[in-house]
Amino acid sequence: MPKVLYEKRDRIAYVTLNRPEAKNAIDPETDALLWQTWQDFRDDDAVDVAIVTGAGDAFCAGADLKTFIPPRIAALTARAVRDNVATGLGGLTRGLHRIYKPVIAAVNGWALAGGFETALACDIRIASERAMFGSFEVRRGFHHGDGGIARLVNTCGSGVALEMLLTGEPIDAQRALQCNLVSRVVPHDQLMPQAERMAQQILRNSQIAVRSAKETILDVIGRPLDDQLRIDALNGWSSPDPEETEALLGRFYDKTDAGRAGTHQTEL
């Protein structure tokens, strides 16, 4: 079986890490397959949203400590470190992080180390009640280097980041929800249905607007307020396709659209 399963159905790309015997740890082959997968997702006009999850009882235990990490440590020349800046773990963490199609993480179990970084690199995280999140790298002599620190601080704040990364202790799904690390926690057997429902909610919208919104969010993180407001205005008012927007407004005028204020339900 491939170490990464990749399926496409109804405009959704399903990406499943498939090394359950190793808690879906990312070895060099899996890393290469993930790069190929995310490049295909980026370039395929037939898919607009991705859902990533893990086979078995783990989301991802991070980079494989036997086959991935030792060669990297042994080759830590200044040139190798500099080149690695453009090539994060699995591509999504760094290198392919500017894909503007939304990516949903369906976190089914342990998201640890580089697996935690992979979950953080996704746009929306939905957690099974069994999910656990952690960073044990400090126990092994190093720390996150594929976006984990930056994204954890941006998402949860420095206090949560300091606690998790300095103690090396994990948090469960409910604590993750309290920390704003995940959007919601669901019963384990509802994880994929809920992720698919969220994907469908995204798909019913203008994909031009969705991708521009994601781009804008990535662009404003960490900038001064005046810069944020400028980017917000530039991207927001330059994003519409006039023909599409006129058609969608027509539905509003005819009262045939979903998501109106008042008593109207927003059904899929």
Query: Contact 150/198 with Cβ under 8 angstroms?
Result: no
CA angle 85, 91, 93 (to 5 degrees): 70
Q: Of residues 7, 129, 137, 215, which has the active-site annotation? A: 137
Q: CB 228: neighbour CB atoms within 10 A? A: 15
Sheet holding 103-107, edge to edge: 4-9, 12-17, 49-54, 103-107, 124-128, 184-186
Verify whether residue 243 is a known catalytic residue: no
Strands 110-112, 132-134: pairing is parallel
- Alpha-carbon distances, residue 215 vs 21, 155, 198, 221, 265 (angstroms): 37, 16, 19, 10, 29
- In angstroms, how far is the first alpha carbon of the chain from the final one? 35
Q: Of residues 29, 117, 243, 267, which has the active-site annotation? A: 117
Verify whether residue 117 is a known catalytic residue: yes
Active site residues: 117, 137
